[in-house]
Structure 1
Amino acid sequence: MKRIFTLLICLAGISVMAQNLSTYDLTCENRVNPIGLDVTRPRFTWKIAAGGRNILQTAYSIRIATSPDFTKKNLVWDSGKVNTDESVLQTYQGAPLKSGQKYYWQVKVWDNQANESPWSTTAFWQTALLNPASEITAQWISSGIKADTAYGIVPQFRKSFSASKKIKSAIAYITSKGLYEAHINGQRVGDAYLTPGWTSYNKRLLYQTYDVTNLIKQGKNAIGVSLANGWYRGELGWEKKVNFYGKETALLCQLNITYADGKTESVISDGTWKVSNGPIQFSEIYDGEVYDARQEKAGWATATYDDKNWQAVVVKNFPKDILFSANHELITKHETFKPVKVLRTPKGEQVLDFGQNLVGWVQMKVSGNAGDKIVLSHAEVLDKTGGLYFDNLRNALAQDTYILKGQGVETYEPRFTFHGFRYVRVEGLKEPLNPDNFTAVALYSDMKPTGSFECSNPLVNQLQKNIQWGQRGNFLDVPTDCPQRDERLGWTGDAEVFSRTAAFNFNVNNFFSKWLKDVAADQNPNGAIPFVIPNALKGTFFDTPAGAAGWSDAGIIIPWNLYVVYGDKRVVEEQYPSMKAYLDYVRKAANNDLWNTGFQFADWLSYRVDDSKGLIGQKSAITDNYLVAQCFFAYNTSLMIKAARLLGKTEEVKDYEALLERIKAAFRKEFMTASGRLISETQTAYILALQFDMLPEELRPQAVGRLVDNIKSYNYHLTTGFLGTPFLTPVLTRFGRTDVAYRLLLQDTYPSWLYPIKMGATTVWERWDSMKPDSTFQDPSMTSFNHYSYGAVGDWMYRDVAGIDVDESGAGYKKIIIKPHLGDGLTSASAKIITNYGLASSGWKKDGKNTVYTIEIPANTTATVYLPTTNVPDIEEGGKPVSSDIKIDGIDGNHTKLLVGSGKYEFRVRN
């Protein structure tokens, strides 16, 4: 009887565990229930929830149907039971998908405890038009209005139509040459802004897919679309170029209606549409908008509106063979801010302070007489007198003007522009300024937040906030820079140095994958990659010498980073031809494997004595351009070795391995003395040489010594620029000088990461001294207060200070490394990241004579934990000696290695 009772208890335990095994957060191509995917072999990801530790998936089964009931007649694909522990980006293997079809899917899993989960909740995706050139029967239409120019009006297009029967579904496919905003029956379509986004328009134009079933009614309907310049025809770059992609904006719109009886009908843009001018008299990315509410046409996008005075559109024969669906996250509204104070400048101007440097626009409520003009002028900072500082905007007006119609309380926000600002000057009010009537709205790509970091130092915590706000403000469909001035371009170098940090803070898999397609599209025939993507600098000085170290290398470095962080092998497969072509370009540009030709940015914006009058009293930190280039030549080649190995390109692996050895030999011959001294005695020179293993192993310790001596000579200040900064602290940690890395992180005088914070920064600055210690400004021609490049230190904070990293042999956090590096100045630090497997976290806190490490590892992953002691009895877990479900894997230097599975752990280590 006792044995039977025990057996029943065991079986009950198994039953409970089985009930606890489930799946959640199902995504298709990294998105939840996406609409409009043109991916013919989509990939599925799910997370596993289970009680207990050491949970691993052993098998999964996916089923896909055209109906959520998953009956046999509707079944499209059943994977069967697939024996694998892979749960991320698993590829569809069924029959060819159909355009515009909604597919439903579920997954179930089995684990290593012999448990089987129930089927997951039902998820879905809907395909786009998989052959848009033939399936989009809509015609391109343009306004034909003379005032519709690069500096003119924003026209409004409309079409009335009837839906004669009961509607089952209605799907809209819309794109434009320019920026569009659509309405159906007076209701806005979708929640995205600045659509269709920015791509290399003449090679890749994206369209958006919207489910508008709820907006269409049986009977009379109307669709209306506003069409603005945007990046297509408006100003691009500081040379004020207009009409860069074309002189005419145009609309392409198709509405596919399916009726309850199965019949279909399409409403398309064609010659039957009508057009008129609207209330937006001027709209431009850099300069802002002018909106005259007196010109509004009430109900213009409704079926009852009388458009007899509108004119016919002009049909255009623009190509449709460059159309692709937008598979990435679009730009949407996010955080809102109310003014934290109202200021009066020395000139008597009324200024709203929103407390945060952000990118977006201001919503306002005003009242007054018809013709009254309210002008909002945007700025990032105040000058030392308390006045608004506009000089760093250069030629960007950054101003929105609203002209009242005089009908009570009126509301306004822009539609086709954006600004980088914290402060807004308000002019034209006839009544006292009420801050409650103004709201700042943050606008950025709808990336999902994934990572967080905090520690015991409030300034470092603010640095983390600044890094994240810098990313928010500059990730608007492309990784831009300087969102306040006449630039806002997709600089490759900025994106490259920040990409790994970016991938911790937010899920940028789709964001960068989309941008990388334009990298390949705009790549020069010789393989060189332009400095900005999309290449808005074509035809300028910066276009001619395309192919510079650290900038053009984004075409190799970012795809590999996406693979490491997300386990996304497909992005490497798709980008590999571009990656290879770029490395081939560099090989040809090099002389005997020495890249010593062409234009180079080198260590852009590194410390110069004359920047702030040499406040630390030392020489400028100028690193030889070609020393930097040679190091990145090696870096690119090392990544190509990994990429070729990942893709099974054995012969190319051998070629690149031999090339790498020659590159290092050429470096040592050209830039290093026999004793290991480099020709540039700068922090960046030694950082890059150490980071990329350019020096013989026996000479590396003295190189570390020279690096540390250099840092000490600047009184523990950094002097690095864009290319040296990301590797400064990681190199110090790698070579045992975390103590110096901490001193640099916690330094709060110029130049340092915390100096801008002491000066009131809420985002990362473009230069170490964008605002000088005396509150004057750097050269206004290049002084941005929202520029994420130096925020690349975040990567070290997450991976080394908090200690949460990914083992490349288990890319995508399938294999996790937990290895915190403690240092003086902090008593605690922690980081969390939502991986494709679930939440992973690592934190530590000094507690008297002990340090407590709290760790969480998601299901279906494993981790190697490094604890700083060589004496295993000094380690406790959960208040007890290390248990048998944790494997002690020996001693590594001054650390004990532990192998752990999923679950939560609390280790206490005697100091």
Structure 2
Amino acid sequence: MNPSSLMPRFTAVFAFLIFASVAGFSQKIAVEDLTVEHLVNPFTIDDAHPRFSWKIVSSVKNTMQTSYEIRVGLNESIEKKQVWSTKENNDQSVLIPYSGADLKSNTRYYWQVRVKDNHGNTSKWSTVQFFQTGLKTEDWVSNWVTVAGNDTAASSPMIRKEFNVSKKVRNAMAFITSKGLYEAHLNGNRISDHYFAPGWTSYKDHIQYQAYDLTNLLKTGWNAFGISLGNGWYKGNIGFAGQNKFYGDTRALLFQLEVTYTDGTKEIFITDDTWKSANGPILYSDIYNGETYDARQEQPGWDRVGFKGNSSWKAVRIIPKGNEKLVGMSGPPVRKHETFKPVKIFKTPLGETVVDFGQNLVGWVMLNAKGASGTKISISHAEVLDKAGNFYTTNLRSAKQTNQYILKGNVAQIFEPHFSFQGFRYVKIDGYPGELTADALTAVALYSDMNTTGTFTSSNALINQLQHNIQWGQKGNFVDVPTDCPQRDERLGWTGDAQAFANTAAFNMDVAGFFTKWMKDVSADQLENGSVPYVVPNVLTKRDAGSAGWADVATIIPWDMYLAYGDKGILSAQYPSMKKWVDYISSVAKNDLWNTGSHFGDWLFYRPNDDNDGRAAVTDKYMIAQTFYAHSTQLLINAARVLGKNDEVSKYEALLKRSKQAYVNENMTANGKLASNTQTAYVLALQFDMLPEANRKQAAERLVQNIRDYGNHLTTGFLGTPYLCHVLSKFSYDNVAYDLLMQESYPSWLYPVKMGATTIWERWDGIKQDGTFQTADMNSFNHYAYGAIGDWMYKNIAGINPVAENPGYKEILIAPKPGGKLSSATGELQTVYGKVKSSWTLQNGVFKLDVSVPPNSTATVLLPNTDRKEKIGSGDYHFEYKY
């Protein structure tokens, strides 16, 4: 192309949004969105050196921070009771560690920041934010309590106590956790909008507690606390082997309320044997099977002052403290989010009453009902209808996914579960009194409270629906832990699924806290020999561990989170686990070749019905294992470099060289052909640089030929799919990547979309082309692994990329790659520095690109179909030229 034909017009158009965000400020720079350890005003900081982050708002182009000043104090007037301050001349604004005197436990600290920029501007001090340190072991003076006698009842116990708050309250904090799940009420009202607390962790190692600021909820005088307990993951059914009571057979509560009065005195209220308990209206509650609620068993006022109760209320029993550690909550809580009204209420061919909410989601249905006492209403949940249009639940296996409500006499009531959730698009209603109308039903989505950070749209409606499905697959399966599926008798933290999807997850939502929390469980459940379980928290303890591509979660997610958020802390925290995993592989490898153990391989790869020409997509499992051995070793090397562990860099670089040579010796012919001539084999070899440089171009050609041989269809499974289009783009086959993305027939990403999917399916053909289903015992319609294509869509279609040398989008690569007959695409990402945007159109031979770069970041823009490279600072830019 003649460079003179380029017509760049990159005007620094400072968009309205940027002006709007600084409206009201007299100066040209400000700071906002302050966080501590990825959290806003957190209550349970256990880290002795918590880290501060902020974003800069500026109306001036090419703004970089040149210095910052942080101050920390013991009240909102920080300068009056200041405990630490620092002033540094650098451009760091993300995860700056506290380095003052030792912080006291169970103490609230206030902080703020101001910055200077390279234009000579100084911001005002930010609004004051706070963080509260968590409780140390010795701070817990309370007792674990449970019901009198053995905890054998199927119903959920209610536990209550009244306290006399004798003076005017300055501050009141409640610290609560449970063995099982809890729901806490104060004076008749829920104390928070958190659900499924205390969350699911490796309970045998640690249990989270939550802290609640009740300063404005406590009354002077008598107050009543009422707390219900559910089985949850702790005691209920867990895993697909019919096991329950996995962590223990006794639900228990630990509660500690610390009140500071305005006169400076303090008082602590605890759980002890003066609390009382009784069974309540929740007759049964289980994660998989649902909940049964009998409104006739309600005891009005049980969570209010003055409740007298009846003879069923007994004194609770104190139980000994266990060996597990109590840790502050480090990830986001589960909350309610979107709601859906029915799009259709209809009778199936079998005569059943079914409601369609139009979206496969995870959460529950709120039901309004009024009828005669004893009327039983059942709500069953399903993801799909069968070919005939009937309610289909066979793929749930043993999970009942049914909520039952028993009415009290002719009183309008609203029902919803407490300790269970369902995965569904459709519900079947039995026993509803009178006519069922849309007003009676509301579906509520529940998932971990992660801010939406990324959006992606294009000119292709099917691709936009695919992105929608990817996002909803993430929402439905990020319910405190990254589960494989949310509906059948599984819902486990499968490590392979999580590592495959982690990059895409970090585009769609802020998952920094979510994965920080979960990776602690990966470390906790890692075996002593360094092997990593298939699922975390590990409830499949009788099974082998260490499957390639699953156990590598130990190295892959820490590195992915470092790139996405610039978080060196997660590398430091997880480095021992990363090293143990690589050392485990080395211990079982023979002559640097990992050819032992049990592996899932390229799970759910394409299996053609009649493959007489010998092109079956089966990739040798040990061949796959060797590539992940090398990949984990490389990531360990990367982490060691970042952390300054230079001796270990040298050690593992030598191991990496040997493992790659062992791969070549075992799996590649002299002419460069791989032992398994499959897409996944070539994809993993090329993605992880397993082949000598001279053989890579030919290997990429073989990959492309394989794709063409299958009629522009992919054949990859869980391990090959995330990297497939990345490898094609890496070797300049973007057109082939687009052919795969745009493919509408099975197997492809768009085939489920064309079949009406609203989430990502577990199998490429969960619903076959003739309308029948894949094998019922493993056929989830909400399984996010194949949604990993979202990572390629953001990085290549929109062209938004982090840069490893300056992670967390401190430095950004904008490199869109138009194709697939798309006429436009837009990607936006709210990074830890602010919003990055890349939006392009291609019409009538003219390419237009709009780019936004946040303050304190820089970007390199690679203009497609040219050799032009532009380095830019913060601001908004427009590029336009003949394509």
Whether contact under 8 Å (2:28, 2:121) holds in the other structure is: no
Q: Does the 8 Å contact 1:618/1:714 carry over to 2?
A: no
Residues 449-486 of structure 1: CA distance to partner in whole angstroms, max 9, x if unpaired?
10010001000000000000000000011100121100
Which position in structure 1 is the counterpart of 2:653? 657
User: Is contact 1:609-1:619 (8 Å) kept?
Assistant: no
**Does structure 1 residue 554 correspond to structure 2 residue 591?**
no
Q: Distance in 2 between matches of 1:357 and 1:145?
A: 42
Deviation at 1:349, TM superposition (A): 0.8
Q: Which residue of 2 aligns with 1:123?
A: 129
Q: Partner of 1:75 in structure 2? A: 82
Within the alignment, does 1:312 sit opposite 2:315 as a pair?
A: yes
Aligned to 2:106: 100
> Within 5 Å, which residues of 2 pair with 1:122-201?
122-129=128-135, 131=136, 133-144=137-148, 148-149=151-152, 152-201=154-203
Residue equivalent to 2:279? 277
Q: Note the C-alpha offset of 1:686.
A: 0.6
The alignment status of 1:682 with 2:678, answered yes or no, reads: yes
- Report the equivalent of 1:850: 846
Deviations, residues 164-200 of structure 1 (Å, cap 9, x unaligned):
1111111000000000001011110111000001011
User: Contact conserved, 2:204 with 2:323, CA < 8 A, in 1?
Assistant: no
Give me the whole-angstrom Cα distance separating, in 2, the residues matched to 1:298 and 1:620: 64
Residue type of the alignment partner of 1:742 = Y
Deviations 1:223-259 (Å, cap 9, x if unpaired)? 1110110000100111110110011111101111111
Partner SS state of residue 27, structure 2:
helix
| Aligned counterparts, 1:683-722, within 5 A | 683-722=679-718
SS of 1:651's equivalent in the other structure is helix
Q: CA 1:449 to 1:67, structure 2 compared with 1: closer, same or farther past 3 Å?
A: same
Deviation of 1:145 (Å) = 5.2
- Structure 1 counterpart SS, 2:392: coil
Within the alignment, does 1:31 sit opposite 2:39 as a pair? yes
User: Offset of 1:52 from its aligned partner?
Assistant: 2.4
How far does residue 308 in structure 1 lie from its aligned partner after superposition? 5.3
Structure 1 counterpart of 2:870, from 895, 898, 907: 898
- Within the candidate set 253, 259, 262, 1:260 is matched to 262
The residue type equivalent to 2:661 in the other structure is A
Supply the distance in 1 between the matched residues of 2:195 and 2:88 (Cα, whole angstroms): 41
Say whether the 8 Å CA contact 1:466–1:764 is kept in structure 2.
yes
Q: Could you tell me how far 1:100 is from its partner in structure 2?
A: 2.5
Distance in structure 2 (CA, Å) of the matches to 1:868 and 1:314 = 70
Structure 2 counterpart of 1:389, one-letter code: Y
- Output aligned runs, 1:203-602, within 5 Å: 203-307=205-309, 309=311, 310-319=313-322, 322-539=325-542, 543=543, 545-602=544-601
C-alpha displacement of 1:18: 7.3
Q: What is the distance in 2 between the residues matched to 1:725 and 1:774? A: 25
2:638 to 635, 642, 651: 642
Residue 491 of structure 1 and its aligned partner are, at CA, apart by 0.3
Cα deviations across residues 45-88 of structure 1 (Å, max 9, x unaligned)? 1111111211000000011111212233x111111x31010000
Distance in 2, Cα, partners of 1:699 & 1:822: 28
Deviations 1:623-671 (A, max 9, x none): 0001100111111111111001111111110111111111111011100
Please say which of residues 718-727 and 700-709 is displaced more in the overlay.
Answer: 700-709
Q: Offset of 1:849 from its aligned partner?
A: 2.1
Match of 2:62 among 51, 54, 59: 54
Give secondary structure in 2 for the equivalent of 1:214.
coil
Task: Name the residue aligned to 2:30.
Answer: 22
CA contact (8 A) 1:36 1:210 kept: no
Which residue does the alignment assign to 1:40? 48
SS at match of 1:514: helix
With normalisation by structure 2, the TM-score equals 0.96
> In the alignment, residue 91 of structure 2 is paired with which amino acid?
D
1:770 partner letter: G
- CA-atom RMSD, angstroms? 1.4
Answer yes or no: is the 8 Å Cα contact 1:274–1:307 preserved in 2.
no
Q: Structure 2 residue aligned with 1:113, among 119, 127, 132? A: 119
| Contact 2:207/2:324, CA 8 A, preserved across alignment | no
Match in the other structure for 2:810? 814
Post-superposition CA distance 1:91-126 (Å, at most 9, x none): 111222222222221111000011111111111122
CA distance in 1, matches of 2:668, 2:317: 66
TM-score (norm 1): 0.93
Distance in 2 (alpha carbons) for counterparts of 1:409 and 1:434 = 15
Letter in 1 for 2:140: I
1:739 to 729, 735, 738: 735
Q: 1:617 to 1:442 in 2, by over 3 A?
A: farther
Query: What are the ranges of 5 or more consecutive residues in structure 1 without an aligned counterpart?
Result: 1-15, 871-894
SS of the residue corresponding to residue 793 of structure 1 reads helix
CA offset at residue 617 of structure 1?
Answer: 9.1
How many residue pairs are counted as aligned between the two chains? Answer: 860
Distance 1:808 1:25 in 2: 24
Deviations 1:338-381 (A, max 9, x none): 11111211111111100000000000100000000000000000
Paired with 1:210 and 1:331, the residues of 2 have a C-alpha distance of 15
1:767 matched to 2:763: yes
Q: CA deviation at 1:847?
A: 2.4
Deviation at 1:22, TM superposition (A): 0.7
1:671-697 superposed Cα distances (whole Å, 9 cap, x missing partner):
000000001110000111111111111
Do 1:17 and 1:50's aligned partners in 2 also have CA atoms closer than 8 Å? Answer: no
Alpha-carbon distance between aligned partners in 2 of 1:87 and 1:71, rounded to the nearest angstrom:
22
**Any idea what the Cα deviations from partners look like across 1:412-452, whole Å, max 9, x if unmatched?**
10000000000000110120111111100001001111001
For structure 2, list consecutive stretches of 5 or more residues without a partner in the other structure.
1-23
The alpha-carbon distance between structure 1 residues 670 and 67, as it changes in their structure 2 partners (threshold 3 A), is same
Q: Any conservation in 2 of the 1:17–1:115 contact (CA below 8 Å)? A: no
> Does the 8 Å contact 1:289/1:399 carry over to 2?
yes
Q: Measure the CA separation in 2 of the matches of 1:78 and 1:407.
A: 63
Which protein has greater RCO, CA pairs closer than 8 Å, 6+ apart? Answer: 2
Between 637-646 and 98-107, report the one with greater CA deviation.
98-107
- Whether the aligned pair in 2 keeps the contact of 1:746 and 1:825 (CA below 8 Å) is no
Residue identity opposite 1:108 in structure 2: R
In structure 2, relative to structure 1, the CA distance for the partners of 1:684 and 1:383 (3 Å cut) is same
Given that 2:34 and 2:53 are in contact with CA atoms closer than 8 Å, whether structure 1 keeps it comes out as yes
Q: Is the 8 A contact 2:49 2:98 kept in 1?
A: yes
| Contact 2:473/2:782 (<8 A) preserved | yes
Q: 1:580 Cα shift?
A: 0.4
Per-residue CA deviation, residues 498-529 of structure 1 (Å, 9 max, x unaligned), is: 00110110111111111111111111010000
The percentage of aligned residue pairs carrying the same residue is 54
Q: Which moved more, 1:695-704 or 1:457-466?
A: 695-704
Q: State whether residues 851 and 877 of structure 2, in contact with CA within 8 Å, keep that contact through their aligned partners in structure 1.
A: yes
Within 2, Cα distance between the matches of 1:617 and 1:675? 22
CA contact (8 A) 1:340 1:353 kept: yes
User: Residues of 2 paired with 1:379 and 1:836: CA distance?
Assistant: 38
The alpha-carbon deviation at position 618 of structure 1 amounts to 7.8
SS in 2 for 1:134: helix
What is the alpha-carbon distance in structure 2 between the residues aligned to residue 800 and residue 498 of structure 1?
Answer: 16
